[in-house]
Amino acid sequence: MIDEILKYNKQFVAEKGYERFITTKYPDKKIAILSCMDTRLTELLPAALGIKNGDVKMIKNAGGIISHPFGSVIRSLLVAIYELGVTEVMVIAHSDCGACHMSSEQMIAHMKARGIKQETIDMMRFCGVDFESWLYGFGDTEKSVRQTVDAILNHPLIPHDIRVSGYIIDSVTGELTPVE
């Protein structure tokens, strides 16, 4: 499959398919969106929000959550705010999320089935990895959005003038529902 993608890429560049996507690194709408990496949202989310290439900074991960106060999501938000002019942050979770009710025990079982040794997992635990919190998803999507919004609003390095809001998008219709 990767070979097919690479072949397509060569053709895309040769035919100058990139020209309609040319923009700057600065988001035109000064918004960063933290969302889930779910494949259903790849085209649905921008279409449902009326955003195009260059409009926003898009940050995606499993569940659209902040799993660590100094992890890659907060780092990306700090870059977006301080270096790229973002003034608003939207946290957008979605219906029927795979991270909802995700189990660290089940994920570890999958790791072992794929050849990861128990000794490796034990060694990582000894070094401070808390698999239970790191690999756990969430049980309630609205609560997860509220916690993520709160984590951003109360982060010591996020300026207080940044507007942060939370939503859930229907992964079929694209309807956006605010989370208070």
For 11-152, list the strands marked E by DSSP: 31-36, 56-61, 88-94
- Whether residue 117 is predicted with pLDDT greater than 80 in this model: the reply is yes
- Whether residue 137 is predicted with pLDDT greater than 80 in this model: the reply is no
- Please count the residues of the chain: 180
Region 74-103 average pLDDT = 94
CA-CA distance, 146 to 64, in Å (whole number)?
Answer: 12
Token pair belonging to 166: 């939370």
| 150-169 residue pLDDT tens | 999 999 999 999 999 999 99
pLDDT value at residue 123 = 95
Is 36 annotated in some ligand binding site?
yes
Query: What is the torsion angle, in degrees rounded to the nearest 10, for the CA atoms of residue 58, residue 63, residue 68 and residue 73?
Result: 0
| 60-80 residue pLDDT tens | 999 999 988 999 999 999 999
**H or E segment and range at residue 74:** helix 72-82
- In the CATH scheme, what architecture does the domain 21-97+141-180 have? 3-Layer(aba) Sandwich (3.40)
The full set of domain ranges for the chain reads 21-97+141-180, 103-136
Is 100 annotated in some ligand binding site?
no
Is 97 annotated in some ligand binding site?
yes
pTM for the whole thing? 0.91
- Whether residue 126 is predicted with pLDDT greater than 80 in this model: the reply is yes
pLDDT value at residue 136 = 80
| 20-32 residue pLDDT tens | 999 999 999 999 9
Is 127 annotated in some ligand binding site?
no
